[in-house]
Amino acid sequence: MDFQGETAVVCGGGGFIGGHMVKALLAGGAKSVRAVDIKPLHEWYQVSPGVENLVLDLKSLTNCEAAARGMSLVFQLAADMGGMGFIENNKALCMLSVLTNTHMLMAARQSGVKRFFYSSSACVYNGDKLTSADVVALKESDAYPALPEDGYGWEKLFSERMCRHFEEDFGLVCRVARYHNVYGPHGTWDGGREKAPAAMCRKVIQAKLSGKQEIEIWGDGNQTRSFMYIDDCIRGTLAISQSEIDEPINLGSNELVTINGLVDIVEDIGGIKLKRNYNLNAPKGVNGRNSDNTLILDRLGWEPSIRLREGMEKTYHWIEQEMLAGAKGT
């Protein structure tokens, strides 16, 4: 992707996807890149040289104005979120991300930003379509009539509409991608905010290191999901941000797998078989969810390039190195 001459701010630049996005913009030739995150700099997952790094709480309009000032592009990835264990138990915190989105849109408009990218989520989809593990892949139109994930999903769906109306009413060009379970190196793998791929890697590695040949799985393991590797996510995000696609669009893998199947993959990578203990009282999310990529393939020629087994192997070995080095993973 060519970003020659552009000035770009990555909101959430100290996070998992944001850290990778900063690197991609630098590689794309951006004139300048600003990364903004609420976390202290020493807690950022990646810090790239040649970047203006700001520690700001973007729920504040004043801070959003500082983040957007002088920028031609905004990548709004900042959110208070995590895996299913976090979003099911912190609905109010997830909803408060609407302040960040609202204020960044206001600041972008005020600063004359050319394009605004917003990272939405597959959690916006109607829950009535997610009751079976044999789920039909979700088309973009399946978000309505609205019945999204409580808390986190409602906030994402509302913010999608704000992007739409800021474009309609104020001419701020907005692009929205609905992410489907992004995973890979340099992400959260412990502490309660991690998602299933990283959690499974950590649990298998812990079992190997401790000699305790058991693993806890949330739910019955028959839930189905698709997982998108970070490199595919970044490539798709940049393409969507530069596209002429006005409506929210899926960005995810359509390689469906059960949670039990995900554990099979991680066990195979780790060279171990574990006793599985199923915690039926733990948060497990919807029974099934998958991405219909018809639209993005047709409009942008994008499809995932990294199969789940390959991506999980890269993720597993990175987390293993982190654990052996004594990192916290939060």
Under 8 Å between Cβ of 250 and 295: yes
List, in sequence order, every beta strand (DSSP E) within 122-212. 173-179, 182-183
Tell me if 245 sits within 8 A of 291, measured CB to CB.
Answer: no
Q: How many angstroms separate the Cα of 182 from the Cα of each of 64, 133, 146, 163, 250? A: 25, 20, 23, 22, 12
CA-based max dimension of the chain: 60
Closest to 76 in 3D by CA, of 20, 28, 116, 114 = 116
Q: Are 98 and 157 in contact (CB under 8 A)?
A: no
- Catalytic residue positions? 152
Q: Count CA within 13 A, CB hemisphere, residue 100.
A: 27
Find all residues with CB under 8 Å of 236, minimum gap 6, and list them. Answer: 177, 251, 296, 300, 302
C-alpha 152/C-alpha 87 separation (Å) is: 6
